[in-house]
Structure 1
Amino acid sequence: MQGNAPTPDTQVADAASGNWVDRWAPAFSRPYLRLSRADRPIGTWLLLLPCWWGLALAMLAGQDARWEDLWIFVACGLGAFLMRGAGCTWNDITDRHIDGKVARTRSRPIPSGAVSVKGALAWMVIQSLLGFAILLTFHRAAIALGVLSLLLVTIYPFAKRFTWWPQVFLGLAFNWGALLAWAAHAGGLGWPPILLYVAGISWTLFYDTIYAHQDAEDDALIGVKSTARLFGAETVRWLKYFLVITVSLMGLAIILALMPKASVLALALALVGPWAMGWHMAWQLRGFDHTDGAKMLQLFRANRDTGLIPLIFFGIALFV
């Protein structure tokens, strides 16, 4: 593993060829940006989209879009980039010995020797402080939720050591933004954001089980647990369950949020979102092949579009 330590210009194995970090970032910054997964932006999208769902649904529920919502929208993007980077850095610190034993991850900055553990810790703190500075611009309820989310981020890397369902812990952390962004707009919570949050967790179980199939064989050899290993040949059946749960709970969240104030047309348009999202998830199932790692990565990355679909319809519903 350490015999061929990469230079700062060595691309991480599962990063897309020609990504912006490899092409344009200064050489000294590349190992740290790779540590933050900046060369693999799909994770930032998957963290950000539930935030935008929560904000859009809160605006639809209150029928009170405000100029400050534009800042919440932008701040969610900045915060998702920073906190996803901090979370990935923490994940790689805790997983450095495991990553060195897995073909897909041994080229990551820490196990490859491109970044030291001390350097990674310092980089994690910098990203976290910048993210906290952005959080402080939100409503007090959202700030409190942001602080609470750190507990989930801290626990997640260890979940695969003690449960077959680490994807649940990822879902709890990655969809927290649905609650936070709703609270940033509305100043509190209610059943709609909670249902939206659980729908997002189910969606995470869907896409991260697909993702985990890339490493199922290596995980079995080193004793790391995942839903991919747990479901095995029954994975498609379980993914269908997650699809139904995601669409159903998001639809219920929309109904509860919009029924009091929104028009029938706005409600109908918003409900098209989870319906179309479900069809996109069904399309992924038709291409599922757990023996094809490249295909699993392709389907996983397609979930950016999956999550954008309901957001588009929420946005349209805001203008009717």
Structure 2
Amino acid sequence: MSTDVFRLRDRLPLYLDLIRWDRPAGWLLLLWPTLSALWIAADGFPGWHLLAVFTLGTILMRSAGCCINDVADRNFDRHVRRTAARPVTSGRIDVREALAVGAVLALLAFGLVLTTNRAAVAWSFFALAISVVYPYAKRFVSMPQAVLGVAFSFGIPMAFAAVQGQVPPLAWWLLAGNLFWVLAYDTEYAIVDREDDLKIGIQTSAITLGRWDVPAIAAFYLIYLYFWLYPGEIWARDALFFIVAGVALAQVAWHIVLIRRRDPAGAFRAFRLNHWLGFTLFAGLVLQRAFR
């Protein structure tokens, strides 16, 4: 066995830590709206090929994004208790190596997109550009979570492009709605680090919103649900729709309970539970189209 193979085997645990492999909540937050868009665009099951492409592509791109983010934030993260031990920040992986891992993952994701169609391939370049820009947004904008919202939502127009060969207005409507969901859960996430972020001097939505952070998060959730539950071309107003809406609203209410005191532990718990909200809407869409 060659030296390179031994080295890769020794480095693998660090690479898995770099891409947050043990914390799947991050890629699930991207996966559910992307798969929901696939089902909506195809008006049902989109086929195993597209399901595999977008599931694996979502995991790969989120992992690549972690590499870019950790390189961009390495000088900030060492001052934040929650992130000080990350591989790049702690020096266990250097910048060039982290970027190389990210590049390989992004190329693998691009290889998957190449098996779809020209429209999806074209939109993938916009998705990559936004993913690269986001980590630097907190240096220039007061609510970088809005930039993250676009980056985390771009699987939606790509799904429509892969199925229909175009991106209709409905896709942009859903992207706009999903942006508000990202604003909600990433502001919860920002509450966790607010004290450290204030000391460092970086900008987040939790700092910008100040004492209005909890009411704003509640509003973001409700706007997200309005965008995703309102269109008649998505939902039939049957019993299942009202069950899905009720379960979704109950989850939002629980999130507000968890964050109402702005306790970092409660805010982090709320953030980690968010993927269940996305799964609720996805499951409802799948069931409606399976049993109509």
Q: Fold-level match, TM-score > 0.5?
A: yes
TM-score if structure 2 supplies the norm length? 0.91
TM-score if structure 1 supplies the norm length? 0.84
Counterpart for residue 21 of structure 1: none
Counterpart for residue 35 of structure 1: 18
Q: Which amino acid letter does the alignment assign opposite residue 33 of structure 2?
A: P
1:287 is paired with a residue whose SS is helix
On the 8 A contact 2:33/2:282 being kept in 1, the answer is no
- CA distance in 2: counterparts of 1:169 and 1:95, whole angstroms: 16
2:170 is paired with a residue whose SS is helix
- CA distance in 2: counterparts of 1:39 and 1:30, whole angstroms: 11
**1:241–1:293 distance in 2 versus 1, CA, 3 Å:** same
**1:124–1:307 distance in 2 versus 1, CA, 3 Å:** same
Counterpart for residue 41 of structure 2: 58
Matched, 1:76 2:54: yes
Counterpart for residue 259 of structure 2: 288
Q: Residues 1-320 of structure 1 correspond to what in structure 2 (within 5 A)?
A: 27-60=10-43, 65=45, 69-252=47-230, 254-257=231-234, 264=236, 269-270=240-241, 273-289=244-260, 291-319=262-290, 320=292
- CA distance in 2: counterparts of 1:239 and 1:318, whole angstroms: 31
- CA distance in 1: counterparts of 2:246 and 2:123, whole angstroms: 29
Q: Which amino acid letter does the alignment assign opposite residue 318 of structure 1?
A: R
On the 8 A contact 1:272/1:310 being kept in 2, the answer is no
Q: Which amino acid letter does the alignment assign opposite residue 41 of structure 1?
A: P
2:98 is paired with a residue whose SS is helix
- CA distance in 1: counterparts of 2:115 and 2:100, whole angstroms: 24
Q: Which runs of 5+ in 2 are unaligned?
A: 1-7
- CA distance in 1: counterparts of 2:242 and 2:228, whole angstroms: 8
**1:190–1:269 distance in 2 versus 1, CA, 3 Å:** farther
1:189 is paired with a residue whose SS is coil
On the 8 A contact 1:167/1:209 being kept in 2, the answer is yes
- CA distance in 1: counterparts of 2:132 and 2:261, whole angstroms: 29
**1:102–1:203 distance in 2 versus 1, CA, 3 Å:** same
Identical aligned pairs, as a percentage? 33
- CA distance in 2: counterparts of 1:286 and 1:292, whole angstroms: 11
**CA deviation string 1:254-295 (max 9, x = no partner):** 41446xxxxx56x76457545532331122112214542222
- CA distance in 1: counterparts of 2:271 and 2:282, whole angstroms: 19
CA RMSD of superposed structures (Å): 1.9
Counterpart for residue 15 of structure 1: none
On the 8 A contact 1:199/1:247 being kept in 2, the answer is yes
Counterpart for residue 5 of structure 2: none
Aligned residues between the structures: 284
- CA distance in 1: counterparts of 2:191 and 2:277, whole angstroms: 19
